[in-house]
Amino acid sequence: MAGMSPTMAFVDGRPRLRIRFRDIAARWGAVVALLALWWALSHSGMFTPFMLPTPERVATRMWDDALAGDLPLNVALTLYRALAGFVIAAVLGVLIGAAMSRGGIIGWFFDPIVSVGFPMPKIAFLPVIVLWLGFYDVSKISMVVFDAIFPVITGTMLGIKSVEKELIWSARSLGTGESEIWPRIVLPAAMPQMFTGLQVSLPIAMIVAVVAEMLMGGYGMGGAMVQASRMADSPGVFAGIVEIAVVGWFLVKGMASLRRRLLAWHPEADTPSGV
């Protein structure tokens, strides 16, 4: 910039570098501290290698599973079940939530179902789903849909209901037709809360997919952990925990990145976020 000396530019840039470093430290400091604590406790002699294997041993086990092809297979199957269930829940949840926001017979029918179903532990229906659909992918994906759909319904319904009436009135006064009100005015205005519902739903889909695999058996990250537990394979169990945490982190970050891109026009994009 004209008239600005290199010294001034350096001085002005230091706060930004300091803020950047502080953000990185805040995001990764807890993870580094947890890994350091794990390493210290596993080498302290307070726990046997069976109770708490070392991070090095767990990392070696993950590497061996990756080379053998078990790790990519299990991750792919779990992601397939979680994402397939999430997509179905997202589509149905948006449609049901949008219909409920308009009231009428659909709102009257679904409101008590959502009110009762949202807080209850849906995993209690797993035996019923197994009886109806068996132990294979259809039952696991159905369980994911059953759990993940409620946050999407609620987020969509609340988002549409929170759209300011003045915004709709202004659009109508400017000549916007009724057929264009929803796609051009209502849905874009409701998108932040709809995305909040989707962001809550995605981790639920991942969790339910893993739990369903644990309870039903078979391939997948949850099934691999249960199999390792039955074989008293402690590094295999801890490797599964790390793998699930890493995959879940990528899913959450991916959804947050998608939200920032699709809502770049929204005022919330101007607010600094640590997500």
Q: What is the pLDDT of residue 13?
A: 53
Name the strand (E) or helix (H) holding 266.
none
- In terms of phi and psi (left: phi > 0; alpha: psi -120 to 50; beta: otherwise), the region of 228 is alpha
DSSP state, residue 50: T
- Tokens matching residue 53: 């294997």
Q: What is the pLDDT of residue 15?
A: 64
pLDDT in tens, the chain (275 residues): 444 544 444 445 556 666 666 667 667 777 888 889 989 988 888 888 889 999 999 999 999 999 999 999 999 999 999 999 999 999 999 999 988 888 778 888 888 888 888 888 888 888 899 889 888 889 999 999 999 999 999 999 988 888 777 777 777 777 666 667 776 777 788 888 899 999 999 999 999 999 999 988 788 999 999 999 999 899 999 999 999 999 999 999 999 888 888 887 766 655 544 44
Q: What is the pLDDT of residue 267?
A: 64
Q: What is the pLDDT of residue 8?
A: 44
DSSP state, residue 89: H
- Tokens matching residue 214: 């644990």
Where exactly does CATH 1.10.3720.10 map onto the chain? Answer: 54-270
pTM of the prediction? 0.81
Domain covering 54-270, topology = MetI-like fold (1.10.3720)
Write down the residue that tokens 């590497």 correspond to: 63
Could you read off the pLDDT of 234-246 as tens digits, one per residue? 999 999 999 999 9
Report the Cα–Cα distance between both ends of the chain, in Å, rounded: 32
- Tokens matching residue 260: 């920032």
Enumerate helices (H) and strands (E) in the chain, giving the number of each. 11, 0
